[in-house]
Amino acid sequence: MRFPDSPARTPLTTSSRICIVVLVVVYLLGCMSAQIAPADAIARIRKIAVVPIQLPITVTPALMQVFETNAGTGSLPPSPGVGVLATIVLVFVLSVEWPKQEGRRNRALELLAEWAASKDPWNPEQALAQDAAALLRRSSAYKDIWVNQAVVLPGVKTTEPTWHMENWMKPRRAWYRRTDSLVNVSEANVLDADALLEIAAGPVELSGEHVVLHVAVKLISTSTNAVLGRSNCVGYTDAAPLEDILQNEGRLFKSLYGELSGRILDKCLREAGLIR
């Protein structure tokens, strides 16, 4: 789904980029490496059922946003007393910025709740699955591509973000490392398919003025229930403040999500060997 309006972009600060890089490094430490599907296996696939997997849209905790906003905005000379001065500055920043960021975060959560209550039919996992189907249809290798209903990722007990992110990253890694399908391959809606393409569309992280998106894909044979190929990708982009992009049922966010997910999804499908 695409929308004509584009969010006003604010370039990321150096501190924000460092925070994102750290997040990505921590994320990649999960050893979720790519597996390229064998060319002969791809050659036998004509019908693919795309299965989106639900993961949350989360808002980064206020304390993390404080450091992303303020870390590295200035430097202090290495002179006597700088430690005391730095402590004073840190206390001031926390006392002033933390409540401010907490207020912005709460407003973002309110907007997400309002968006969910509106019963807007758009959701990130279905949007990503439809985009994946469109990319696969461009290839002459496949005859029929369709999108199934989304399934819930097992093991996620809470979607509230934590500093270590393990509340959703751990079950996501467990799914990625599975050697079989998350769904029953004998179900009627996938029975006619030669393969399943499971797509984890998220988590989508909203923080300050940027969006971080995680995408993973797994190609699974319906005849053997074995994983043929997989890929795990992450990317980010700068955006307008959260309270702006989440207004009007996330109108600007949807546009931003479409731009970002398209780039990441193309990379993932290529890494897994599904498109050339």
Enclosing H/E stretch for 63 = helix 62-70
CATH code, 157: 3.40.50
- Asked if the structure places residue 97 within a domain, the reply is no
pTM over 0.75: no
CA 88 to CA 93: how far, in whole Å?
A: 9
Per-residue pLDDT of the chain (276 residues; tens, 9 = 90+): 333 344 444 444 444 444 444 444 444 434 467 888 898 988 899 999 999 998 877 776 544 444 444 443 333 333 344 444 444 544 545 565 656 667 777 777 787 788 778 888 888 899 999 999 999 998 878 999 999 988 888 888 776 666 566 777 888 899 999 999 988 877 757 778 999 999 998 778 777 677 888 899 999 999 999 999 999 998 888 877 777 888 888 888 888 888 889 899 999 999 999 988
User: pLDDT at position 69, please?
Assistant: 44
User: pLDDT at position 165, please?
Assistant: 65
Enclosing H/E stretch for 2 = none
- Asked if the structure places residue 95 within a domain, the reply is no
Residue 274 DSSP symbol: S
Please list, in sequence order, all residues whose beta carbon lies within 8 angstroms of the beta carbon of residue 177, skipping any fewer than 6 positions away. 32
* 251-to-28, 52, 208, 216, 270 alpha-carbon distances in Å: 30, 22, 18, 25, 29
- Asked if the structure places residue 240 within a domain, the reply is yes
User: pLDDT at position 18, please?
Assistant: 41
CA 83 to CA 61: how far, in whole Å?
A: 27
- Scored b (16 or more CB within 10 A) or e, 212-240 reads bbbbbbbbbbbeeeebbbbbbbbbbbbbb
Please list, in sequence order, all residues whose beta carbon lies within 8 angstroms of the beta carbon of residue 175, skipping any fewer than 6 positions away. 53, 153, 154, 182, 198, 200
Range of the domain at 137: 14-60+121-271
What is the separation, in whole angstroms, between the first and last Cα of the chain? 24
User: pLDDT at position 66, please?
Assistant: 41
DSSP string covering 155-190: T----S--SS-HHHHHHHHHHHH-SS-SS-TTSHHH
Angle between helices 247-271 and 82-117 (to 10 degrees): 100
- Asked if the structure places residue 182 within a domain, the reply is yes
- Amino acid at residue number 210: H
Helices and strands counted in the chain (H then E): 9, 7
Residue matched to tokens 């997910």:
261
- Asked if the structure places residue 201 within a domain, the reply is yes
User: pLDDT at position 215, please?
Assistant: 92
- Asked if the structure places residue 85 within a domain, the reply is no
Looking at the 3D structure of the chain, how many domains does it have?
1
User: pLDDT at position 226, please?
Assistant: 92
- Asked if the structure places residue 156 within a domain, the reply is yes
- Asked if the structure places residue 105 within a domain, the reply is no
